[in-house]
Amino acid sequence: MLDQVTALRYVDPLRAGGSVPGVVETDDLGTYVVKFTGAAQGRKALVAEVIVGELARRLGLRVPELRLVDFDPSVAAHEPDPEIQDILRASAGLNLGMDYLPRSRDYRPGMLDVSPEEAGRVVWLDALTANVDRTVHNPNLMVWHGRLWLIDNGAALVFHHRWSGAPGSVLKAYDMSGHALGTFGPDVHAADEELAGRVTESLLREVVALVPDAWLAGEPGFDTVDDLRDAYVTHLAARAAGSAAWLPTCFATPDELRAADARRTAAALAGRPAWLQQVPNRDLMRKP
C-alpha cells in the first residue's frame, strides 16, 4: 500500500475545486493537499487519483507523492464553514494526500514551453485512462521549479462509474481536441511506441493494489474486492493493447478554441431573457 501518515493539523481548505480539498500537516513533518472521502465526488475519485497518478509515475511523468492520510475530524474543529465541516466529519479514517508543492503555480498557456514529446506522453496517458478533464479551461497541471506536474486525476477512469457499460468502452476514442497541451503538437505516436508496451498486467496489478480495500468494497456486480481489482486491470490492459483504436491525433488550434468559446457564449446568452442578454457569463469568459 501507499505510505500512511496521520493528520495533525488542518491548515486551510482549497476552494478552487468542487471537492474542497484541504492543506493538512502530518506526523511525518509533511504538508499535503488532502482529498476527502466525504466530498461529493466520493471514493471513486480517490481510486482514480491513485491508479492514474501511480501509473503516470511509473511511466516517467511527474506527479506529487501520494500518501494515505489517517484523518480525525477533531483536528479541524476550528474550521468555521459548516459545509466543509460536513465533509470533514464524513471523512474520518483514510483519505488521500498529495505532496504540497510550495510556491507552485497553476499552469496557464504561455507560462512554460512544453516539448511535443512531453505533451504527447501526457495526452497519451489521459486518453488511455479516459481523463477528459485536462482541458484548456481546466488544465489540472502545476508548474514547479520550471517543470510540469500532473494533478487532479480524479475525473479519469470514467468507465468505473458504470461497470455494466465498461466492455463497450475498452477501445473508445475520447475527445482530446481541447486538451490543455494540444497546442504544443503532442507527439502521441512516439508516446504510444514508448509507453503502450510498458502498461502490462503486472504493472497494472502493482498500481491497483495500492488502492485501499475500503475504497473498493461494496461495488455492485462484484463479489469481492479482488474481483473489482481484476476488472480495472483487465480493462486498462486491453485498452493499452488496443491503443491504435483510440490514439488522439486531432487538436484544436488557438483560433479554433476561441471560436468554440464564442459559440458557447452565444448559445448561453441565447437562452437568457432579454433583460439578461448583456450580462456576461463569467464561467464562459474564463480565458485558457
* The predicted structure's pLDDT at residue 120: 98
Phi/psi for 120 (5° steps) reads -65, -40
Q: What mean pLDDT comes out for the span 10-39?
A: 92
> What are 97's three cell numbers?
494526500
- Report the alpha-carbon angle 18-24-25, nearest 5: 170
Q: Does the pLDDT value for residue 280 go beyond 80?
A: no
User: Could you give the CA distance from residue 58 to residue 128 in angstroms, rounded to a whole number?
Assistant: 14
Q: Does the CA dihedral 118-121-123-126 come out positive or negative?
A: negative
For residue 164, what is the DSSP state? G
* The predicted structure's pLDDT at residue 287: 44
Q: Does the pLDDT value for residue 33 go beyond 70?
A: yes
Q: What confidence category does residue 173 fall into, taking pLDDT thresholds of 50, 70 and 90?
A: very high
Q: Is 135 helix (H, G, I), strand (E, B) or coil?
A: strand
Q: Please write the tens of the pLDDT for every residue from 193-242.
A: 999 999 999 999 999 999 999 999 999 999 999 999 999 999 999 999 99
* The predicted structure's pLDDT at residue 256: 82
User: What percent of the chain stands above pLDDT 70?
Assistant: 92
Q: Does the pLDDT value for residue 271 go beyond 80?
A: no
Give the residue with greater pLDDT, 26 vs 259.
26
Q: What confidence category does residue 151 fall into, taking pLDDT thresholds of 50, 70 and 90?
A: very high
Give the residue with greater pLDDT, 41 vs 186.
186
CATH class of 106-245: mainly alpha
Q: Please write the tens of the pLDDT for every residue from 113-138.
A: 999 999 999 999 999 999 999 999 89
From the CB of residue 14, how many other CB atoms can be counted at a distance below 10 Å? 14
* The predicted structure's pLDDT at residue 288: 40
Q: Please write the tens of the pLDDT for every residue from 69-112.
A: 999 999 999 999 999 999 999 999 999 999 999 999 999 988 99
User: What percent of the chain stands above pLDDT 90?
Assistant: 82
